[in-house]
């Protein structure tokens, strides 16, 4: 994508299995090690999900990711993803992605066979910093998941979270590794510290520092779609446009897994006001 073009992609996510994750990621509201007040459920109502997906498609969303908490997908979750994907592909033109945790070679091939186009699996941070935020699995396991996704010919979406306590160089290294592993879509989230997690109370990332990191990433990796995902509501709404001006070409619209985002209509009005158009 030519970064001089005033066009952006919109994607969205939906939590199909919420909470009770055995991993101890210090930033995560869905970890059973943390004491966050969130809604937990085994599966989402498919009829409601389809209605929601059609509404997103009508607004210009091109990709919808099915997300399930947990270390790795159970057989029940895989079959649920299969059922949901079949219906979404039948009733919408959305490209279906998923984020289900760690994969094996077999689960990656299964996802490809049912019509999943892209696998989302964040590295979260650099290999040197990762053990500071999670000890129940390691960075190598995350890299293996990207390898299995690539072997299965799934597109790869991989990035991470800013403001966990890492340095700017950690962020650049994380993105560099994801791109080397084949990521063509690179989302970044900015930590929204939630009560009940070890990182609650951490100061908001400085806006100037955030934009500087975005600019460095966009300049270093001009051939991937950098996406602004979670954490936007900590800042003024128009920061999204400032990120576009520094090379971001995709963003996540609507609510996130357990936190709220800006409304879809407000986001669309904002980007239109500044002359940006949506790639369907």
- pTM (2 decimals)? 0.91
Q: Are 72 and 101 in contact (CB under 8 A)?
A: yes
CATH topology of domain 7-279: TIM Barrel (3.20.20)
How many Cβ atoms sit within 10 Å of the Cβ of residue 174? 29
Instruction: Give the per-residue pLDDT at 50.
Output: 94
Q: By the 8 A CB rule, do 93 and 40 touch?
A: no
Q: What is the pLDDT tens value at each position of the chain, 280 positions in all?
A: 444 479 999 999 998 977 678 888 888 877 767 766 666 666 788 999 999 999 999 999 999 999 998 889 999 999 999 999 999 999 999 999 999 999 999 999 999 999 999 999 999 999 999 999 999 999 999 999 999 999 999 999 999 999 999 999 999 999 999 999 999 999 999 998 888 888 888 899 999 999 999 999 999 999 999 999 999 999 999 999 999 999 999 999 876 655 567 888 999 999 999 999 998 7
Residue pair 168/216 in contact by the 8 Å Cβ criterion: yes
What is the C-alpha to C-alpha distance for residues 32 and 29, in angstroms, rounded to an integer? 8
- Pairwise CA distance, residues 115 & 178, whole Å: 23
- Burial class of residue 1 in the structure, from the number of CB atoms within 10 Å of its CB (0-12 exposed, 13-18 middle, 19+ buried): middle
Which stretches of the chain are assigned E, i.e. beta strand?
7-17, 63-68, 95-99, 118-120, 155-157, 160-162, 183-190, 225-228, 250-252, 277-279
pLDDT of res. 70 = 85
CA–CA dist 202, 158 (Å, integer) = 24
pLDDT at 56: 93
**Tell me, what's the pLDDT at 3?**
44
Where are the chain's structural domains? 7-279
| Residue 199 to residue 195: CA distance in whole angstroms | 8
């Amino acid at each position: 994508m030519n970064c001089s073009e005033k066009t952006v992609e919109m994607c969205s996510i939906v939590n199909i299995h919420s909470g009770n994750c055995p991993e101890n990621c210090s930033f995560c509201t869905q970890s059973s090690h943390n004491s966050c007040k969130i809604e937990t459920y085994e599966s989402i109502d498919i009829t409601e999900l389809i209605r929601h997906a059609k509404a997103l498609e009508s607004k210009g969303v091109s990709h919808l990711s099915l997300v399930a908490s947990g270390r790795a997908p159970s057989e029940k979750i895989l079959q649920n993803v299969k059922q949901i994907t079949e219906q979404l592909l039948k009733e919408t033109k959305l490209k279906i992605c998923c984020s289900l945790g760690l994969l094996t070679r077999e689960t990656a091939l299964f996802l490809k066979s049912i019509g999943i186009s892209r696998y989302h699996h964040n590295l979260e941070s650099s290999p040197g910093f990762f053990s500071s935020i999670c000890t129940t699995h390691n960075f190598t396991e995350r890299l293996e998941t990207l390898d299995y996704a690539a072997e299965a010919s799934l597109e790869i979406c991989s990035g991470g979270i800013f403001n966990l306590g890492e340095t700017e160089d950690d962020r650049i290294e994380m993105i560099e590794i994801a791109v080397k592993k084949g990521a063509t879509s690179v989302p970044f989230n900015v930590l929204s510290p939630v009560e009940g997690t070890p990182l609650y109370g951490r100061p908001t990332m400085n806006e100037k520092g955030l934009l500087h990191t975005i600019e460095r990433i966009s300049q270093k990796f001009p051939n991937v779609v950098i996406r602004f995902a979670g954490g936007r509501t900590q800042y003024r709404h128009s920061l999204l446009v400032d990120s576009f001006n520094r090379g971001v070409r995709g963003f996540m619209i609507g609510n996130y897994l357990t936190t709220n985002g800006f409304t879809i209509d407000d986001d669309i009005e904002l980007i239109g006001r500044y002359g940006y158009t949506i790639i369907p």
